[in-house]
Structure 1
Amino acid sequence: MLITPSEDSILNREKRLALRVVSEYYDFSSTKSVEILCSYENNDFAKILMELLVKSGVRNIFITYTNGIMCEEINNGYRKYLDDRISFYKERISEEFIRITILSPFPLPVVITDEISEYQKHLSELSFLNDYLIESPRIMIVKPNQLWARKLGLTLEELWDKVDSFYDSLDSYDSIKEKLNNYQINKIHFKSDEGTDCIFELTPNFKWIGKKISWNGHTFQANAPSLEIFTAPKKFSGEGKIVFTKPLCYHGKIINDMEIQLHNGKVIDNKNLDSIISLDSNLSYIGEVALCPYKEGFYYSTILDENSGCHIALGNAYPYGIENKNLINQCPYHIDLVFGSDSLAVDGIKEDGSVIPIMRDGKLCTL
């Protein structure tokens, strides 16, 4: 079979991305077990990744599909499939496995049959897996696909160019993160011409987290690409209004023109977010505040979109850099919403009331 120059270029980009994952995002040299979670369309890329993991010394590598084969197996009996998954993940946890998730917007859809509907109703039986993943290294990577490129009106190579521009971004965020940590601010104030004006209180002795996360004796990059600096605020601390500047793509549905009003950390009013907030009572609270320079564009990809502007997350707070986890929100969901703009100003407020300018006009200040 002949490979065209364009196909050869895409293959090289995939190999480069896979190499990045294995060589930069985590040290797999002592890892026993890895699960690759992806849609069936990314099977070829998953196998490239698997080959590199084998060369790195990983002994047990498993591919779990989120469509295709998965649907066939569930439709043969959801209970057997769920029991097999429970057994599978308990064994993987005993091996201290690492999960790598390959994200490509617009995978082939899953047709919701009665069996799949029943399976989804019983996913709480896998809650032990979510608990494990929060406390363990994990990697989520963005990979272009043809349907996504078509949705953006781009060729696949043009989409790779845009995605690579995120991966290749050179930044001084680590030094900015360390300077922010040295300031020991205890509140953060966001204000923009779009109408955002909101203050959050931060937890005592917290640490801002950047591209690499050090947690439970491991260092890993949870999201790739990653240009954000983030932390979890106190659960009951948010006051004010946030006007979101980019749409939310959630389970294939696009939500525009969103706002929230916060009091004592709780969403007391919202615009166009009822369908999200109604999913769980703790989605009315904020789990993350994140700093990121603003750039134009909407990509239908949460990781890319959250890397193009300051954002908050409704729902679950990641405990990284937090001394007292009882002060932050816990929830089965974590939904990022971007409110960054080229008018956004961000100030850190110290305990003595002094103000540290962090961002102006959507850009990080020289601290």
Structure 2
Amino acid sequence: MFEQHIENFADILVQVGLGLQKGQMVSISSHVGLEDITRLVVQKAYQAGAKLVEVEYRDPELQRIRLEHADPETLDAVSEWFFKARLEFLERGGSLLNLSMNRPDILKGQDQEKLTRTTRATYPFIKPIQQRMMSDKVAWSLSVIPDQEWASKVFPELSAEDALTALWDTILKIVRADQDNPVEVWKQHVKSLHDRKAWLNQQNFQALRFKNAHTDLIVGLAKGHIWAGGSGLAHDGFETEFVANIPTEEVFTLPDRTRIDGTVRSTYPLSVRGTVIDHFTLTFKDGRVTHMEASNNEEVLQALLSMDEGAMSLGEVALVPHSSPISQFGRPLYHGLFDENAASHVALGAGYRFCLEGGSEMSDEQFQKAGGNVSQVHMDFMIGSKDMQVMGIKADGQEVPVMQNGEWAF
């Protein structure tokens, strides 16, 4: 049964995540140690009609080694050829699949200034790739594959073998790979998310208010904002329907980066730069963070906020019911892809241009003028809870229940 569920997982990644069509090319970015499932995904892609599947393997330890041993003056050196090749691949209609391990503590204790330097040096080369992804010009998807280190982080009370088994069982259930017809189950799930976003788009709210015991935050929404979720449509020459995150439980849209006010407290641990921050609070005024405090690793959060001007504001607001499968698991998974789908969340940094009417064709300046946020970071953090109330605020001040006690109100 386990082997069948792994096969199902690979089918979901290819048929649902990438929405792969005959004749498309696929670039898979994977981690050393994930060769078996990567090969299975490659097999599934060719069986689905892929013209070419290329694989790049990365070692998550190499960044730590560089930070610890390289001359600090060399940390702004970048392999430009790699990013140029990736961009050319996308411009030819290729799609991207990212399979990774989760090492939440791999960079714990590393010099934040060094990390900032490497990130800033890489960003100019990542930016055009990121913009294609955030403008729906490429089909892309990502997921995280269980390994021993992650398993022991999530299940510290179990032996290594039992923890890995438990994590695989958990992830396969969360991504619906344990279902008899998982691709069809996913189609129904995506439809339910489309129904939610259709209602939200009809409402044309001017803002959302989040309130519970520790949060009272008003998030203005950009004029012409569009709610997204479930699947996207890539304008890649194939008009590919894809699901960017496996799993996904959210509907999301674009905040107005100038109209965010109040205080918000995280409800799940956040892994930032290989370091876990357990709880933190941010205060916003006129769209910018004016105060922050964290229960641990506050310097890591400060370094994130200091990356650039856009990191001090929000680029995404997303709604997730407390009853989502990941929330019902009952403990953090220490990875944003999973934990963000356990609770409503917001993201510091870059906004999705497809969440704004005409946004995909805007310059950075036009996007910012319309309320969008431009940044080299995009970091989701979870704010939802079982006592969270979310109200939609209309132009005339009318408030409409959107979520009550963490669940959909419509």
Q: Trace 1:288-303 onto structure 2 (pairs within 5 A).
A: 288-294=316-322, 295=327, 296-303=330-337
The amino acid of 2:129's aligned partner reads L
Structure 2 counterpart SS, 1:224: coil
TM-score by length of 2: 0.77
Give the distance between the partners of 1:292 and 1:108, measured in 2 at CA.
26
1:131 matches 2:121: no
Cα offsets for 1:37-65 (capped at 9, x unmatched): 12111122111111111112212211112
Give the distance between the partners of 2:228 and 2:133, measured in 1 at CA.
18
TM-score by length of 1: 0.86
Structure 2 counterpart SS, 1:356: strand
Counterpart selection for 1:328 from 361, 366, 372: 372
- Which stretch of the first structure deviates more once superposed, 237-246 or 201-210? 201-210
The structural deviation recorded for 1:215 is 4.4
Other-structure match for 2:341? 307
- Which stretch of the first structure deviates more once superposed, 349-358 or 168-177? 168-177
1:145 matches 2:147: yes
Counterpart selection for 1:214 from 221, 230, 233: 233
The amino acid of 2:339's aligned partner reads D
1:173 matches 2:193: yes
The amino acid of 1:335's aligned partner reads M
Other-structure match for 1:4? none
The structural deviation recorded for 1:184 is 1.9
Other-structure match for 1:97? 94
Give the distance between the partners of 1:311 and 1:262, measured in 2 at CA.
15
The structural deviation recorded for 1:147 is 1.9
Q: Trace 1:172-251 onto structure 2 (pairs within 5 A).
A: 172-193=192-213, 195-216=214-235, 217-251=239-273
The structural deviation recorded for 1:14 is 2.5
Other-structure match for 1:3? none
Kept in 2: contact 1:99–1:139 (CA 8 A): yes
Give the distance between the partners of 1:232 and 1:254, measured in 2 at CA.
26
The structural deviation recorded for 1:26 is 3.2
Kept in 2: contact 1:207–1:322 (CA 8 A): yes
**Are the structure 2 counterparts of residues 80 and 337 from structure 1 closer, same or farther at C-alpha, using a change threshold of 3 Å?**
closer
- Which stretch of the first structure deviates more once superposed, 138-147 or 120-129? 120-129
Between 1 and 2, higher relative CO (CA 8 Å, sep ≥ 6) is seen in: 2
The structural deviation recorded for 1:125 is 5.0
The structural deviation recorded for 1:107 is 8.7
Unaligned runs of 5+ in 2: 177-185, 295-300, 360-366
Give the distance between the partners of 1:205 and 1:218, measured in 2 at CA.
24
**Are the structure 2 counterparts of residues 165 and 19 from structure 1 closer, same or farther at C-alpha, using a change threshold of 3 Å?**
same
The amino acid of 1:268's aligned partner reads T
Counting matched residue pairs gives: 351
Give the distance between the partners of 2:268 and 2:255, measured in 1 at CA.
22
Give the distance between the partners of 1:343 and 1:108, measured in 2 at CA.
30
Unaligned runs of 5+ in 1: 1-7
